[in-house]
Amino acid sequence: MGISVKHISKSYDKVRALDDISFEVKPGELFGLIGPDGAGKTTLFRILTTLLIADKGEATVAGYDVVNDYKAIRNLVGYMPGRFSLYQDLTVEENLNFFATIFGTTIEENYDLIKDIYVQIEPFKNRRAGKLSGGMKQKLALSCALIHKPKVLFLDEPTTGVDPVSRKEFWEILKRLQQKDITILVSTPYMDEAALCDRIALMTGGQILQLSAPEAIIASFPKKIFKVRTAETYRLIQDLKVFTQTHSAYPFGEYMHFTSMESDFKAEDLIRYLKGKKHKNIEVLETEPTIEDSFMELSK
């Protein structure tokens, strides 16, 4: 009941949106597609949800071919597009009823599956969907995507534009859904959400850079990484860029993340260099790499 993608390519005119992509999602897995805008995530979703036909390659969802068995797939999958696409002029309950009906089911029949989510928006069930907050909209959209008990759930950037608290809640919901034997393919541009997936594929420019469990990806980070901070951030960026030892240097929160070309590079080496450049309040600490560091390294 998983997903299998083999050598899928898709171009729009001259832009290659997907370039020979292959991967497998195991049944019951929570699989993340991590990448910036334009990486090809949405195109891949549209192919897997039978909305778009690939130029090359083949793919199956829950054992069904996306081109030949599209009708079977449409019964089995739930899809939540990146853009909120429910009827804004219908109420919460009417939207849910509508999707239940066109899947030939009722809210009552599958209530247990959406219960956790729906109870949070039930107080607003007579409110028009267009008048809900961002987080509420996401929960309603997820409820609508789940109302027919799908085997596979496709979530295209479900947390984009949602506040941090709602984002956290949303991922907790996904974890619970996973317990109910639903295979989930989720895409996100947020690297911090990647750690919550079973496995992730780092994507950019229509290609997969690395595919593994998030811990494995972090563990395979090849270099020592330092977080650096001084009184003058802008000058720090400039100075790190021209430092002869620099392999990579990029902003990361309130720090700069720095890696060196030398494998035995020490924090003191950098402190000495920065002191020479007359920086004040210098702070250099070795730190653990994150998915974002891996992504920056891979996409260099």
Partner 1 sequence: MILELKMNTIRYIIQKEFKQIFRNKAMLPIIFVLPLIQLAILANAATFEVKNIKFGYIDNDKTSLSRELIEKFNASTYFNVLTDFPSHIIADADMLEGQVDVVLEIPLHFERNLLKEKKTDLSVRINAIDGAAAGVENVYVNRIVQQFNQKVRTELLLVGENINKLQNIATIPSFWYNETLNYKTFMVPGILVLLVTMITLFLSGMNIVREKEIGTLEQINVTPIKKYQFIIGKLFPFLILGLVLLTVGLIIAKLLFDIPIVGSILLMYGYSIIYILVILGMGLFISNFTDTQQQAMFIAWFFMVIFILMSGLFTPIESMPNWAQVLTEFNPIKYYVQVMRMVMLKGAGFSDIYQQLLKTLAYALIMNALAVYSYKKVT
Residue with smaller CB distance to partner 1, 102 or 119: 102
89 near partner 1 (CB under 8 A): yes
The torsion of the CA quartet 274, 277, 278, 279, rounded to 10 degrees, works out to -40
- Rounded distance between C-alpha atoms, residue 107 and residue 96, angstroms: 7
- Rounded distance between C-alpha atoms, residue 293 and residue 259, angstroms: 10
40 near partner 1 (CB under 8 A): no
64 near partner 1 (CB under 8 A): no
Total count of residues recorded for the chain:
300
Stretch that binds partner 1, among 93-101, 132-140, 170-178, 243-251 (CB under 8 A): 93-101
Please report how the helices 164-179 and 134-146 are oriented relative to each other, as an axis angle in degrees rounded to 10. 20
Stretch that binds partner 1, among 27-35, 76-84, 163-171, 175-183 (CB under 8 A): 76-84
42 near partner 1 (CB under 8 A): no
User: Quick one: tokens of 120?
Assistant: 């949070």
What's the sign of the alpha-carbon dihedral 95, 99, 105, 108? negative
77 near partner 1 (CB under 8 A): yes
Contact map string, positions 99 to 128, toward partner 1, x by CB under 8 A: x-xxxx------------------------
Q: Please, is 145 exposed, middle or buried when counting C-beta atoms within 10 Å of its C-beta (0-12, 13-18, 19+)?
A: buried
Residues that bind partner 1 (CB under 8 A): 46, 49-53, 70-71, 74-75, 77, 79, 81, 83-90, 94, 97-99, 101-104, 144
